[in-house]
Each structure stands twice: as C-alpha cells, then as structure tokens.
Amino acid sequence: MPAHRPRTPRPRHLSLALALSGILLAALAHPAGAATVPARGSAHLGVGVLAHDGQDGTPTGGDATQTEGVDVSAYQGNAAWSTLWSSGVKWAYTKATEGTYYTNPYFAQQYNGSYGVGMIRGAYHFATPDTTSGATQANYFVDHGGGWSRDGRTLPGVLDIEWNPYGASCYGKSASAMVSWISDFLSTYRSRTGRDAVIYTATSWWSDCTGNSSAFASANPLWIARYASDPGTLPAGWGFYTMWQYTSSGPTVGDHDKFNGALDRVVALANG
C-alpha cells in the first residue's frame, strides 16, 4: 500500500489572493448602497415622495373647510374601515391597477369596505408610461374597478403619475411624450366613463417630467402630494388643489389626505 503523501500547504499569499477575489466578486454583485428594485405591482400613491421631496412638518390643526380622507393599496391589507370612520375619515381611494399587469388583491375589501361604513370612495391607477400606451392602461383601469357610477358616493378615477420606482424617474420619456401619454390616458378614461379623471402628482415630478405642463388644469382636478405644513407651489395652471396627500405616517392607515372643502364638496365631486 503506497504511503500517504502529505498535503502541500497553500502559500499564504495565494490564500489571501483568493479571499480578496471572493470579496471583490461579492462587491460587484451587490454594490454598496445599491437600491433594490421593488417588485412590479408594489407601487402606491406617494411611493417616491419621501425619497425625492422629503418631509417638512405636518398640517397645523383641524380646518373645518377640509375633509379627511385616506388612500390604500395592497400594502395595507384588510383596512380597519370602522376605526377610520370613527376617527373622522369620510372618503377613501383604493388602488385598483398598475400598468396592465397588476390588480390589487385586496381591492374588494378596501373599495367595498370603505363604502360599507359610509365613506365616499374611488379607485386609482398607478401609471407606468414605459410599459403600454395611456389608452391601453385607461381601459385596463376601467375594466378592473376604475369605473364610475352615478350613485352619489363614487368619486372619479385617479391617474397616479409620479416617480418610477422601477427605473428612470420619467420612465424614459421626454416632457412632450409624457404629456401625450397622459392625454391619451385621460381622454380614454373620459370616453369610457363620462368623467374627467383626477390627476395625482407632486409638483417637482410634474415640473421635471412634463415640463410643468398646464394642459390639464382646466378639466382635471388636482390631487397634490406634499408632506409638509402646506401644499406649497402647485403645478402650472392649477390655481387650487382638490385633494392633498399630506402624510404617509397617519394613524390606522399611514397615507392621509385632505379634501379642499367640506363634505358637501366631496359629494359634489362624486356627483360630477
């Protein structure tokens, strides 16, 4: 039987080189500070507000001429509508769709649950202008919960157009191409429902990605996003906001909003 040959020790400099190579490969695979791209479908109203605009205070006091609301998505799961109603929330928007590839699995509980406790409710669509046309997404939205009914308690649909959580902030579009995409969505939504959709956006995104277009201010109500003590400067053309998302850290449901008017004005928007 041959004698066992002892293993030749690996030179220390070689072991060190191999270890450093492993560290380098790991660093290349997972660069320090690299952001993880969220899963498609996970976006929601205000997904980019804190990262891009930050937070600067909260509204002061309760204004009798404003009406409290909330907005929800799958992130909130089964929302506690009775608790929200008791806290003074009188209207709510629920995410229905995103792009043409996602529908909110909690939509029925959220959309019907808010209605069931007495709230005035509506649905919103998270736009992804880099995936399909505005018309295609408007049709998908209407076909999956984003329609409108003349029952006095259903608000017109919302186009949530803001920072892209999956890539380039403006979805790779020029300002003129973005305005065309938005126009395509809004005109299709109106033809399908008879209502002008609400536009949800942030002034900084709107300025960067549409060139601060004033093309929609005369027909489409504005829902402005700004986590501060006031809504600040509005996008071009709009002299006032209809709704204002003022925080992502409110009670029961984080995303809280104010309607710029008393409850009868919320009803008026629902009635068209």
**Catalytic annotation, residues:** 71, 160, 162
What is the residue-wise DSSP string for 100-122?
TTEE-TTHHHHHHHHHHTT-EEE
Comparing CA positions, the residue from 134, 131, 128, 135 lying closest to residue 164 is 128
Length of the chain: 272
Alpha carbon distance 175, 177 (integer Å): 5
Phi, psi for 270 (deg, rounded to 5): -60, -40
Q: Which helix (H) or strand (E) covers residue 67, if one does?
A: strand 67-72
Asked if residue 52 lies in contact with residue 21, where contact means CB atoms within 8 angstroms, the answer is no
Beta strand pairing status for 91-98 and 102-103?
antiparallel
Give the containing element (helix H, strand E) for 93.
Answer: strand 91-98
Cβ neighbours for 89, distance < 8 A, ≥ 6 positions apart: 68, 69, 70, 119, 256
